[in-house]
Chains A and B, each alone.
Chain A
């Protein structure tokens, strides 16, 4: 997890287009300036970052479903529930499951676990639209390779 540049997924553990399921891994940083304010003497990962980590996991799933032709922009977060503190150094398992593919939108069900214990969950809706620029798409494809996106599903940039 690279909080400072808002990259919250370290690695894709598995991604199944057929089953509409993505599992990713991420390690919560041991040190981060965020803990100076959140909170002194009680460092925990902010809930908004947990939501974003779920959104990024769902984003990888949707990129696979759209074959990197369209980008998913987070539009709605439904009833997010933060069930437990997430502390520095925690290894997270992030899961996103496809609930529905609509016309121009996708809905997913997501959760975050640590040591098999549910930490938070939410459903999310994304609008999908063509990449706003070729540079953006190339960046996303490079990131896909970095996180271990199944190579056969990653297009050539350009």
Chain B
């Protein structure tokens, strides 16, 4: 997870011009870092490319909108990195 977090944090820092030291595993991408949905497209692109996966943003958004999930489950960075690791594992399976 730590290497995944470092990669994600570096992507966020570079894409959104946020100081790297302000990006922590417990940071909420939206509430704490102020990343909006448009910026997140750039981040999703970079994450997809970096890990060879496809973040299921549409499904996550639908689940949040329908009350089946919270934004914390997907957008707190430690949770996001867990989801990324799951997608990586599923791809390799």
Measured CB to CB, the residues of A under 8 A from B are 75-76, 100-105, 107, 125, 127
Binding site secondary structure of chain B: helix
Q: A103 and B45 in contact (CB under 8 A), knowing A75-B38, A76-B38?
A: no
Minimum CB–CB distance for A149 against chain B, Å: 26
Minimum CB–CB distance for B39 against chain A, Å: 9
Q: Is the CB of B49 within 8 A of A105?
A: no
**Residues of chain A within 8 A of B48, CB atoms compared:** 100, 102
Known: A103-B58, A105-B57, A125-B45. 11 other contacts (CB 8 A): A76-B38, A76-B41, A76-B42, A100-B45, A100-B48, A100-B49, A102-B41, A103-B54, A104-B57, A104-B58, A125-B41
**Residues of chain B within 8 A of A105, CB atoms compared:** 41, 44-45, 57
Measured CB to CB, the residues of B under 8 A from A are 38, 41-42, 44-45, 48-49, 54-59, 61
Q: How far is A107 from B59 in the complex, measured between Cα atoms in Å?
A: 19
Q: A125 and B54 in contact (CB under 8 A), knowing A102-B48, A103-B59?
A: no
Q: How far is A101 from B45 in the complex, measured between Cα atoms in Å?
A: 9
**Residues of chain B within 8 A of A125, CB atoms compared:** 41-42, 45
Minimum CB–CB distance for B2 against chain A, Å: 25
Q: How far is A102 from B59 in the complex, measured between Cα atoms in Å?
A: 12
Which residue of chain B lies nearest to A127 when distances are taken between CB atoms in the complex?
B41
Minimum CB–CB distance for A112 against chain B, Å: 23
Q: Is the CB of B41 within 8 A of A75?
A: yes
Q: How far is A105 from B54 in the complex, measured between Cα atoms in Å?
A: 11
Q: How far is A76 from B46 in the complex, measured between Cα atoms in Å?
A: 14
**Residues of chain A within 8 A of B59, CB atoms compared:** 103
**Residues of chain B within 8 A of A127, CB atoms compared:** 41
Q: Is the CB of A107 within 8 A of B38?
A: no
Can you identify 6 A-B contacts, CB atoms within 8 angstroms?
A: A76-B42, A102-B54, A103-B44, A103-B55, A103-B59, A125-B45
**Residues of chain A within 8 A of B54, CB atoms compared:** 101-103
Q: A103 and B57 in contact (CB under 8 A), knowing A76-B41, A125-B42?
A: yes
Q: How far is A76 from B40 in the complex, measured between Cα atoms in Å?
A: 11
Q: How far is A48 from B38 in the complex, measured between Cα atoms in Å?
A: 20
